[in-house]
Amino acid sequence: MLRVIKPSDWPTIAYIQQTCYPHALLESVAVLQNKQQLAPHCCFVFEHQQQTVGYCFAHPWIDNQAPSLHQALAPNDAASTLYLHDVALLPQGRGQGLVHQLLHHLEQFTRISRYCSLSLVAVAGADRYWQKLGFTPCSISKDLNIYGDKAQYMRRELSD
């Protein structure tokens, strides 16, 4: 189940992030809260059996541009994609269809907002997973090394 983030969720979100990512990719709670403030209706925690097992931070952004890590962002009037900034699941949340629910919900928002795509940067070899969900690797001009050596910008076009 998806639900909006509550103030009491932040310690659990920080724990999940620390469990799922290497130190170089960990963002402060303040930076994650900034992402939530950009699009609170696109940021969620995942619950399974009454436990928080993951989270998602998504926000409008400019297609073919990956936002920097570790920095607060300002709203962008030129946004043309819904950017999945971070999706993390603990092992007990995997295989429950939570990401499929998330993508369905975010696609609806994306269509209503008239954005052309969903986009993300896949890290640590996760591009294979995202390809199975309809995302296609794309070349962009930005150096993605801050995301790790296997980082790949990806897009999922929305058809009418």
Q: First-to-last CA distance in the chain?
A: 27
Give the pLDDT score at 124. Answer: 87
pLDDT at residue 152 greater than cutoff 90: yes
pLDDT at residue 160 greater than cutoff 70: no
pLDDT at residue 159 greater than cutoff 80: no
* Per-residue pLDDT tens over the stretch 89-114: 999 999 888 899 999 999 999 999 89
Q: What class, spelled out in words, does domain 2-157 have in CATH?
A: alpha beta
pLDDT at residue 122 greater than cutoff 70: yes
Average pLDDT, the chain: 93
Average pLDDT over residues 136-160: 91
For 76, phi then psi, to 5°, come to -125, 115
150 CB contacts (<8 Å, ≥6 apart)?
A: 122, 123, 124, 125, 127
Q: Where are the domains of the chain?
A: 2-157
